[in-house]
């Protein structure tokens, strides 16, 4: 029996694996990215998990008005299109 083939346009980077000293040792495989992301998924999508304190990093971006999230239950959720817009604006205003 053939398995259906799905086209996945957006991927969520795999979660970082750290050793006992918090050094990055590996990354889990990527997974398909949902349209609505949790705080942890947004941190991975933006690769903020590679900085010292990713929660502070995403909170700074939210508090500055550069990224919009919304409360759902007890957690903050983000639309993937808003995350993409933030990345595009950062690339245009701060090219490498």
Q: What is the pLDDT of residue 11?
A: 84
Contact partners, residue 90, CB within 8 Å, separation at least 6: none
Q: Domain segments of the chain: what residues?
A: 11-93
Q: What is the pLDDT of residues 28-67, one digit of tens each?
A: 888 888 999 999 999 999 999 888 889 999 999 999 999 9
Which pTM was predicted?
0.79
pLDDT over 70, % of the chain: 92
Using DSSP, state whether 12 is helix, strand or coil: strand
């Amino acid at each position: 029996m053939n398995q259906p083939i799905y086209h996945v346009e957006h991927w969520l980077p795999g979660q970082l694996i750290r050793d006992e000293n918090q050094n990055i040792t590996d990354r889990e495989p990527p997974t398909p990215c949902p349209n609505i992301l949790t705080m942890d998924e947004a941190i991975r999508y933006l690769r903020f998990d590679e900085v010292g304190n990713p929660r502070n990093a995403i909170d700074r971006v939210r508090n500055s008005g550069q990224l919009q999230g919304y409360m759902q239950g007890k957690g903050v959720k983000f639309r993937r299109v808003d995350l993409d817009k933030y990345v595009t604006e950062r690339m245009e205003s701060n090219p490498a």
